[in-house]
Structure formats: C-alpha cells, structure tokens
Amino acid sequence: MKVHFATVGRRLEPILVGIRSIGADRLVLFATRGVENESWPVALELADRLKAIMVEVRPIVEIELFDLVEDVKRMVATIREVRRELSERPHEMYFNVSGGTKVMSMAGLIASYMEGLKPYYVVERPTEPFEAPLIMLPALPRGLDSLTRHQKEVLIALKDGPKNLKEIAEKVGIAIPSVKHNVDKLTALGLIEPSEGRGRKVRLTDVGRLWLWLIELERQSHY
C-alpha cells in the first residue's frame, strides 16, 4: 500500500503529478483554513476528484501557515497515527513537500526525516503542469534511530537553556572530550548552535527542540 502525505497550496497539479508518477492508495493532506489564501478548499476539491480513481483521502489535517514547530508536531503525530493504523499491512510512505508556504514545505521535509518517509518535490511547468518533473529528495535514517544515546542526553541537558561543555559533561556524566565530539556532531546536524554571549555555550536550534520533543515522546511511551 502506498500512502502519500502532502502539504497543500493553491494548486492541485503538484499532488496529482506525485500520485500519477509513483502511484497511491491513500493520501493524507495538510492544509490551512481561516486565513488569507487558505488551502482547505483545494484539499476538499482534491479529495472529491480522487474518488473517481479510488484513492482514499483521509485525514485532512489543519496546520499553520508560518509556525514551523507546531506544523512539524502535527505532521509527526499524524504520520504515527497512520503508521499504527497500517501496522498489520505492508506499506510505503511518501511525503510531497511541493505545496503551500516554504515553512509548510520545510515542516514536511523535517517530519519526513524524523519519521523515515521518502520526501519528494514536484517542479511545476506553467505551460505543461502535468509534465512537471518529480524530484525524489534524499531519504535519511528514521530520526531518533540516527542519534546515539549520548547525543540524545546532550539534547536533554540543553532543555533548560544554553550550557558550556563542562556543564553538559556534568549533566550527562561523560568526559568533556566526549561531550565535544557529540556537540560537534549535533551542530553538523543542525540540532544545536553556538549561543550568543560569553562562555562558549551552545543551545538548541528550533529543529533541535523538535528532536528533543520526539525524545521525550519516546521516553514517555516506555513508561
């Protein structure tokens, strides 16, 4: 079973191209409503049109135009809900990040990397919309699986604010050279960054806070 998740903009074509190129049995849409240039009516029209070719569209999830963190959280929660629903069936999951604002597309890409989906982007051609090329984006290992235990602990140590290497070492309980190694890795991944001010401290980025949120969800599920 092929499931596509997609951010919805003002045009149907990027989503239809993805379905035609890859094939789809089910489509999950992320759309905006109650704002200028809302995409909810486009999502409803798309759901109606796809009935004719037996592609199921559900759910349609409301997201924000410009709230990256909240959008990623809603997308991850939806992906996990669908994955649980399909746990007994073989399935492939894709994420079409072509529609909506740049923030919506970025949220879709981050959610794909966190949850191990196959992201792609449709490059529209105004004169030939249905001949648009589909570009498969690099797929990464499923988010938390790509982080070591110590890297997760470093993120947790930064939850309550910026810290230097010594402070992180005391929190995590490992040597400073090991902390530096993990900090360098997390910085390269875009999860932490240097903090402003004195003391050579580091802090979580917005993406790092999202990864921390996932880590906390994972830990809660074990209790």
Q: Residue 29 is inside which H or E element, if any?
A: strand 26-31
pTM confidence score: 0.72
- Write out the chain's pLDDT in tens, 223 residues: 999 999 999 989 899 999 999 999 999 999 999 877 789 999 999 999 998 889 999 999 999 988 888 999 999 999 999 999 999 999 999 999 999 998 999 899 889 988 889 999 998 765 555 555 777 665 555 556 678 999 999 999 999 999 999 999 999 999 999 999 999 999 988 889 998 766 689 999 888 888 888 888 777 655 4
* Structural domains in the chain, sorted by start: 2-136 (3.40.50.10770), 147-221 (1.10.10.10)
Structure confidence at residue 216 (pLDDT): 84
Structure confidence at residue 143 (pLDDT): 58
Task: Name residue 166's amino acid.
Answer: K
Structure confidence at residue 214 (pLDDT): 80
C-alpha 108/C-alpha 75 separation (Å) is 7
Largest CA distance in the chain: 62
Angle between helices 102-115 and 68-85 (to 10 degrees): 40
Query: DSSP code of 194?
Result: E
Structure confidence at residue 223 (pLDDT): 46
Strands 56-62 and 92-96: unpaired
Q: Which residues pair with 119 in a beta bridge?
A: 95
3-state secondary structure of 102: helix
C-alpha 35/C-alpha 131 separation (Å) is 31
Structure confidence at residue 41 (pLDDT): 94
Structure confidence at residue 162 (pLDDT): 94
Q: Residue 76 is inside which H or E element, if any?
A: helix 68-85
